[in-house]
A = this chain, B = another copy of it.
Amino acid sequence: MNIENTQSQMRKGILEFCILSIIRRGEAYPSDIVDEMRGCNLQILEGTLYPLLTRLKNADMLTYRWVESNSGPPRKYFSLTPKGEEFYNELEATWNELANAVTRLTTKKESLVSTAGNVSFGPDSPNIPTNTSTTDKQE
């Protein structure tokens, strides 16, 4: 439970969305995409991107065409299919809902919950430990 891991989890959820967004603006091949992402402070690795593109292609969200390069092997330039466009739109809606929900949650004031203070402890509850803040591991 380190911070890097959690940050990576956050990124993870929106990777597809970001990649589709980049491709949506115009054909792109993997290195383009990596550069774009990095330019927006979004880490992504080859080992992540290639499988993801393959998955999207096999789901008929993307197509590609081979384009020769003058500095190395040919490249796969990806673009969105109609189905991919539709998918992207749904993801965009989802993202907006999510961002709204987070904003609502994090900006809400306190004292909506926390009725716990009114409930009295049970002095004779059979299995309830009496210490207020427990630190015992129980796995």
Binding site for B on A (CB under 8 A): 1, 3, 6-7, 9-14, 16-18, 21-22, 25-29, 32, 36, 40-42, 54-56, 58-61, 63-70, 74, 77, 87, 90-92, 94-95, 97-99, 101-102, 104-106, 108-114, 116-117, 119-122, 125, 128-129, 131-135, 137-139
Q: How far is the CB of A135 from chain B (nearest CB, A)?
A: 7
Which residues of B are found within 8 Å of A69, using beta-carbon distances? 119
- 6 nearest interchain CB pairs? A26-B114, A13-B13, A1-B59, A10-B13, A68-B122, A40-B101
Q: Does A10 contact B17, Cβ atoms closer than 8 Å?
A: yes
Q: Does B121 contact A67, Cβ atoms closer than 8 Å?
A: yes
Q: How far is the CB of A110 from chain B (nearest CB, A)?
A: 4
Q: A25-B111, A36-B105, A68-B119 are in contact. List 5 more A-B contacts (CB 8 A).
A: A1-B56, A9-B16, A22-B105, A25-B110, A40-B105
